[in-house]
Amino acid sequence: MPETATAVRELTFGEAIREALAEELRRDPRVVLLGEDVAEAGTAFKVLKGLVEEFGKDRVIDTPISEPGFTGLAVGAAMTGMRPIVDIMFGDFMALIMDQVVNQAAKVHYMSGGKWKVPLVVRATMGATRRSAAQHSQSLHAWPSHVPGLKVVVPSTPHDAKGLLKSAIRDDNPVVFFEDKISYAKVKGPVPDGDYTIPLGVADVKREGRDITLVATSSMVQVALGAATMLEEVGISAEVVDPRTMWPLDEKTLVESVRKTSRAMVIDEGYFRYGVTGEIASVIAEGAFYDLDGPVRRLGARHVPVPFSPALEDATVPTERAVFELARKMCNKS
């Protein structure tokens, strides 16, 4: 990992993202931020607070409420010498920008026989349990992951968020970068001061273990780590692997971990069906079948639109308890 940074402080997930953006805006004049309420308001989540004061309204640009329009505009700007970053306030609005992302950004390089490039970053949020109901709570990172030509990043810690976002901005391809809304303020962690990058396509073992591999993404990494602590108390040693990027996917690290532990569970906040957990489970099954003690198990968001009532919403997202119970069963220690 090309880490040159020195001092390490505790930052929140949101602060780490802001720091990465500020450093990249400072480093490269071609970088601009476009989105709704990104300037003085610093977005609805205040993640960009302070950036407009340093970089001005020419580089931190408030757009009309036109997600397809400003995403499309950013595709064209990226092709012609800039490195735009667009801010999609709620990941649910991926549904609005899919044509620009899927039919334009993802295809330009290939369709032009490699002649045009699209160094674009789409930052979008994800994650439920904020009582925001069905149109402001989805985790749709499986969608762009399905499409060749895109890279998809799902950071889980402040350290990873900063290093991965810098790599995304410096990448010559369109990258969709998903930020968990709950993590913005809730997840804190050590972040090196200054410049460092984390390559896209390299998983990280967040906790080593022997008995079971918990593959977890984004918000679910904290859940898996919590479950691992609970499992330790009943004598089960869980390894937690965070792929960090959906594509490129570090299949090697996932498969090696499962070969060692012989059991695997995949936990993701996206919809359970036809999604991330299914893809990763099959990668593991294909790569580690003869080392497995049993089928790969999966936990994802319940296959319903995210409900509003806390009583209902909390039943849709995998919890530490659910991971713990399932893992214990898989290890025959129930």
């995403």: which residue's tokens? 71
CB of residue 35 to other proteins, shortest distance in Å: 12
CB of residue 31 to other proteins, shortest distance in Å: 11
Residue number with CB closer to other proteins (235 or 248):
248
Strands 264-271 and 151-153: unpaired
Note if 136 is an active site residue: yes
CB of residue 158 to other proteins, shortest distance in Å: 27
* Active-site pick, 136, 141, 146, 303: 136
Residue number with CB closer to other proteins (112 or 334):
112
CB of residue 14 to other proteins, shortest distance in Å: 27
Handedness of CA 292, 220, 21, 104 (dihedral sign): positive
Element (H, E) at 325: helix 320-330
Residue number with CB closer to other proteins (20 or 78):
78
Distance CA 321, CA 147 (A): 33
Residue number with CB closer to other proteins (104 or 213):
104
Residue number with CB closer to other proteins (30 or 146):
30
Distance CA 136, CA 319 (A): 20
Handedness of CA 44, 175, 248, 152 (dihedral sign): positive
3-state helix, strand, coil in the chain (%, to 5): 40, 20, 40
β-pair partners for 301? 271
Element (H, E) at 6: none
CB of residue 60 to other proteins, shortest distance in Å: 13
> Which residues make up the interface to other proteins (CB under 8 A)?
30, 32, 58, 63-64, 66, 68-82, 84, 99-100, 103-104, 108-119, 148-149, 151, 172-173
Residue number with CB closer to other proteins (13 or 177):
177
Distances (CA, A) of 263 to 182, 219, 234, 255, 304: 29, 22, 17, 11, 28
**Taking a C-beta distance cutoff of 8 angstroms, is the pair 127, 139 a contact?**
yes
CB of residue 1 to other proteins, shortest distance in Å: 21
CA nearest neighbour of 43 among 22, 69, 61, 25: 61
Helix (H, G, I), strand (E, B) or coil at 278: helix
Phi-psi category of residue 137: left, alpha or beta, with phi > 0 → left and psi -120 to 50 → alpha = alpha
Active-site positions read 136
